[in-house]
Amino acid sequence: MSSDSAAVPDPPRLLRDWQYYLREQLRIVSDQPEQEARWLLAAALGRDTAALVRDGLTPISSGERARIASLLAHRRAGVPLAYCLGEWSFYGMALQVAPDVLIPRPDTEVLVTCTLEGLPERARVLDLGTGSGAIALAIAVARPHAEIWAVERSPAALRIARMNGVTRAPQVSWLQGDWYAPLDADLRFDRIVANPPYLREDDSHLPDLRHEPREALVAGPSGLECLGHIIAGASSHLLPQGVLLLEHGADQGAAVRTLFDGAGFSAVQTRHDLAGRARVTLGVGA
Ligand SMILES: C[S@@+](CC[C@H](N)C(=O)[O-])C[C@H]1O[C@@H](n2cnc3c(N)ncnc32)[C@H](O)[C@@H]1O
């Protein structure tokens, strides 16, 4: 089959031809149009990508055509691929996502890896601002005997997190509310972990992130508001020798270390991602 889009009928009839058609249509929004075409087509048809090859000569029904056209229109309008597909990969899991939750980022896998270092099998872990449940679930899958709590302010996001947890981690306790507020006063944790909102209100990246929930991204005028609140409250919720681990912006490492020091944490250090950017700061509670 030629890769020339002019040779493809519009709209195509066979599944195989839709792949070429979508690839050409996606070039304006994607730098990997071939991959995206396969993923979108598989999602619209409810099949896996292997079936696209196997069933290439199958005609597409009018209902299927409508679903493909709708996904394509969303994607061409700039909706992130993850929202179009309805799921996204994080730490080896395919998590359900929707515009109510931040799309889990590879950067956050650094935070999970740091949290798992030396984490006992039966540790008690708190994930604040769980969103899709990505961090809590990655830890729960790696430490099936750990007790995990996950807090989220947005009820819509928490519904998605619960759904993601149903089969892979029924042991996670999902709580709705504001940071530490929904926790029993006497609960103490070995690890508190969070990827809170940390962008400033005027961050220049916000227009590119317009499809994701603003309350998942923006902390306030300085960008440090949520990080500061979580750091200030952590020691009352940590067990002795318990550790707080926070993801933050690449340019916030020094400011976050100062907040940890000010709250009496010891052994404060910042970890970097593979590109050498400061992404996670951690410390042992006071
Ligand atoms: C940057 S997102 C992180 C989502 C997820 N943990 C991840 O890493 O993909 C921050 C999350 O914190 C939640 N959040 C914001 N303010 C909150 C608050 N006051 N209490 C609890 N959760 C909050 C947002 O709704 C959002 O889901």
One-character DSSP codes across 204-268: TTGGGGTTS-HHHHEEESSS-HHHHHHHHHHGGGEEEEEEEEEE--TT-HHHHHHHHHHTT-EEE
pLDDT band at 3; cut points 50, 70, 90: very low
181: in domain: yes
The reply to whether ligand 1 has any atom less than 6 angstroms from the CB of 130 is yes
pLDDT band at 2; cut points 50, 70, 90: very low
The count of C-alpha atoms lying within 13 angstroms of the C-alpha of 116, restricted to the half-sphere facing its C-beta, is 17
What's the one-letter identity of residue 6? A
Average pLDDT over residues 236-262: 97
147-152 and 172-176 as β-strands: parallel, antiparallel, unpaired?
parallel
Structure token pair of residue 277: 């950017």
Pocket probe mutation, ligand 1, options 110, 152, 192, 227, max atoms within 8 Å of Cβ:
152
Q: Say which CATH number the domain at 144 has.
A: 3.40.50.150
Average pLDDT over residues 50-55: 87
Instruction: State the pLDDT at residue 53.
Output: 84
Is the same domain home to 258 and 148?
yes
83-93 tens-digit pLDDT: 999 999 999 99
198-244 tens-digit pLDDT: 999 999 999 999 999 999 999 999 999 999 999 999 999 999 999 99
Instruction: State the pLDDT at residue 51.
Output: 87
Cβ burial of 218 (10 Å; 0-12, 13-18, 19+) is buried
Q: Which domain holds residue 103?
A: 98-284
90: in domain: no
Is the same domain home to 117 and 238?
yes
Q: Which residues fall within 8 angstroms of residue 77, CB to CB, at 6 or more apart? A: none
Instruction: State the pLDDT at residue 1.
Output: 37
Q: Say which CATH number the domain at 63 has.
A: 1.10.8.10
The reply to whether ligand 1 has any atom less than 6 angstroms from the CB of 108 is yes
2 is in an annotated binding site: no
266-272 and 199-200 as β-strands: parallel, antiparallel, unpaired?
unpaired
Q: What are residue 86's DSSP bridge partners?
A: none
Is the same domain home to 61 and 156?
no
Ligand 1, closest atom to CA 151? 21
Instruction: State the pLDDT at residue 10.
Output: 67
Is the same domain home to 183 and 49?
no
Ligand 1 center–CA 47 separation, angstroms: 32
The reply to whether ligand 1 has any atom less than 6 angstroms from the CB of 179 is yes
The reply to whether ligand 1 has any atom less than 6 angstroms from the CB of 216 is yes
Residue nearest to atom 17 of ligand 1 (CA): 153
